[in-house]
Structure 1
């Protein structure tokens, strides 16, 4: 399950306790200027015994490379073998607001990923790059079990970067099976490459209720399509349908389109979505709940039912 960026920080311990032992992972969402990923992840690890906690996504340039590695190593010490760190470009307009927008986001991310991976591996690192400067830096407490370092990226150039500089990717919602296959292709099919997907969750007793709830969300994505939409096998038809019929046209589109997009519809539809993602090669499937806290708390039970399949 994902922990929405708008939720009060204190709620993360309740989510972690309820998911622990029933679900495999809790993904912490760090967006500017909401709550901080590393501290939330630490709290979740502290109150759970088996739950793996992912950070999705730490912006590469907000912290220095050494500090990012220190944060990740500290989390690994708090929860050995239970940390999945993700690092991404960050929204460039947000980076600009903080005065840290890099001249080349691709170069900056690749240098950060390279530096962090080396530090986590226990190396003494000197790097004088375009963005990253490290001079004889070594972590005092590198993790005993080095976690896979994941890149939170979208476009083809960034996917190729992930294939050579990261241990996997985190795919933002909507991440369907076609998007997973496309990500592997763009990354160059590297060995031991982990793929994490984010999917919007909406399970109801009847499909139309779920579709009606999620159609406005889908409409916002169709106004500015990203790879998660562009890689859909019915992408052109979907965009044309929305332009002609609006949000109501999305409510009445074929159920199999919704099942490709996410665990949306009935419980059986959600299980079909998960099975298709696994068949495509996804290693982890994280469910994004409603941004309404009370609704999201009820959806924990849906996530647990899916995990127990």
Structure 2
């Protein structure tokens, strides 16, 4: 049966608000949490970007839910050996309730030291090598590595969880999906893409120790006024409507704001994002992920009425999805 989690947007809220939302998610009946890992928000209207590993430490004490980064880029801004330490510590704090979601990243977050932003094929190479390093360090053994992109010398993690942290890999497009199947314990994507899930599984991706393997992210905007919900999405998350590789290549929130001037409220209104308080619309969107073969659907509320959203899902949406 498909499970439903809540997606904490670090771009949109500060650390205290994220912890509070996690507690509300648990009370509403969500069973897991995603949390985004950003250095910058997509735009200044969102206006937040706390350090994800500190927030995860707080979540480990604030809720009993499973937690996953969605997603961490372990290749440019932070060396994979450091990500391995952060993930291992999170795995211990959460008592086996932590998964590490990784992806090839965006220039928005990764270019801050002035490093060149590699082309897609190179980013995939870097991610594959990074995941290898993380897994080796998770054993607690001393690791030395001289690879194409990374050097590790005499590194050892002294605090590791009893079982290695599962690593799920994000993908959008055939090459990234096949990479996820090759190196990931699970697959992450942000649309109800049946073809991608099938490609992941047919390319060798599957379940590890009974854990769910396909994780889908879903945006909604609950509001009792549908027009207000559409405006909220247009103001806060217009980046979702930008085409092609802009999301990976634009370097600053200012550039995203400039590109987003091409996005209209009508595009939002015509999109599949549920806007408003029509429970049938929210349920149809979630079931599209079920029909596409996802094991877990992580839902993020865009609008400002967080308490209204959680009450709406607790009383109307999640009970029907469970049936």
Indicate the TM-score class for this superposition, using the shorter chain for normalisation. 0.7 to 0.9
Q: CA deviation at 1:287?
A: 1.3
The answer to whether the 8 A contact 1:57-1:152 is kept is yes
Matched, 1:70 2:85: yes
Matched, 1:301 2:316: no
RMSD over aligned Cα atoms: 3.2
Structure number with the higher helix fraction is: 1
Q: CA deviation at 1:182?
A: 1.8
The one of the two structures with greater contact order (alpha-carbon pairs below 8 A, sep at least 6) is 2
Distance, in Å, in 2 between the alignment partners of 1:286 and 1:135 is 38
Q: CA deviation at 1:112?
A: 0.7
Distance, in Å, in 2 between the alignment partners of 1:143 and 1:263 is 41
Matched, 1:111 2:125: no
* Aligned residue in 2 for 1:134: 152
Distance, in Å, in 2 between the alignment partners of 1:18 and 1:247 is 30
Distance, in Å, in 2 between the alignment partners of 1:138 and 1:264 is 50
Q: Secondary structure at the match of 1:58?
A: coil
Distance change >3 Å, CA 300–CA 265, structure 1 → 2: closer
Distance change >3 Å, CA 217–CA 36, structure 1 → 2: closer
* Aligned residue in 1 for 2:69: 55
Q: CA deviation at 1:217?
A: 7.6
Runs of 5+ in structure 1 lacking a partner? 227-242
1:1-309 equivalence runs, <5 A? 1-4=6-9, 5-20=11-26, 22-33=29-40, 34-48=49-63, 50-61=64-75, 62-101=77-116, 103=118, 104-172=122-190, 175-176=191-192, 179-185=193-199, 188-192=203-207, 194-204=213-223, 214=233, 221-225=240-244, 247-248=265-266, 251=269, 253=270, 258=272, 261=273, 266-290=278-302, 294-305=304-315, 306-308=317-319, 309=322
Q: Secondary structure at the match of 1:20?
A: helix
The answer to whether the 8 A contact 2:170-2:177 is kept is no
Runs of 5+ in structure 2 lacking a partner? 1-5, 41-48, 246-261
Aligned length in residues: 281
Instruction: Describe the superposition over 1:259-283 as per-residue Cα deviations: whole angstroms up to 9, x where unpaired.
Output: xx55876212222322331232212
Q: CA deviation at 1:204?
A: 4.9
Instruction: Describe the superposition over 1:85-105 as per-residue Cα deviations: whole angstroms up to 9, x where unpaired.
Output: 112222125422323446421
The answer to whether the 8 A contact 2:96-2:161 is kept is no
Q: CA deviation at 1:200?
A: 0.9
Distance change >3 Å, CA 93–CA 2, structure 1 → 2: closer
Distance, in Å, in 1 between the alignment partners of 2:38 and 2:241 is 22
* Aligned residue in 1 for 2:255: none
Distance, in Å, in 1 between the alignment partners of 2:185 and 2:17 is 30
Q: CA deviation at 1:153?
A: 3.1
Q: CA deviation at 1:190?
A: 1.8
Distance, in Å, in 2 between the alignment partners of 1:164 and 1:18 is 36
The answer to whether the 8 A contact 1:263-1:273 is kept is no
TM-score with structure 2 length normalisation? 0.74
